[in-house]
Amino acid sequence: MYFFSPLAGLPGRFFVATAAVALALALTGCATVPPPNDSMTLAQNLLQGARDAGAADYAPVDLGFAQDKFQLAQAAMARASNWWPSKSRWKRRLRRQPLPRSHRSL
């Protein structure tokens, strides 16, 4: 007969381990990733090289597909950069004057 069970502290340890893993995943998910500017520049240079090599004559469908994908990637990067309000936007919000007393709700 065991007076001290080896599994006695297991639920508490399991909870702590689960909480630590959940916290690590949450912090990892909130990390910011820099935009892939180098990759976009490389893709733009490769597209220009393909145009210069005459890809419009030899593979117009593939060139059009690549150009469409590049434009979609540029649009996605523009949306992502405007996702979070800039500091100047926050400053403008903070500078707004409060409502007069007659316009405030009770």
Residue type, 63: L
Residue type, 70: F
> Residue 106: is its pLDDT beyond 70?
no
Closest CA to 74 of 27, 40, 23, 103: 40
> Residue 26: is its pLDDT beyond 70?
yes
Does residue 34 contact residue 81 with C-beta atoms inside 8 Å? no
pLDDT of amino acid 56:
92
Does residue 45 contact residue 87 with C-beta atoms inside 8 Å? no
Cα gap 67→74, rounded to integer Å: 11
Structural domain spans, the chain: 10-93
The mean pLDDT value for 76-84 works out to 74
pLDDT of amino acid 92:
60
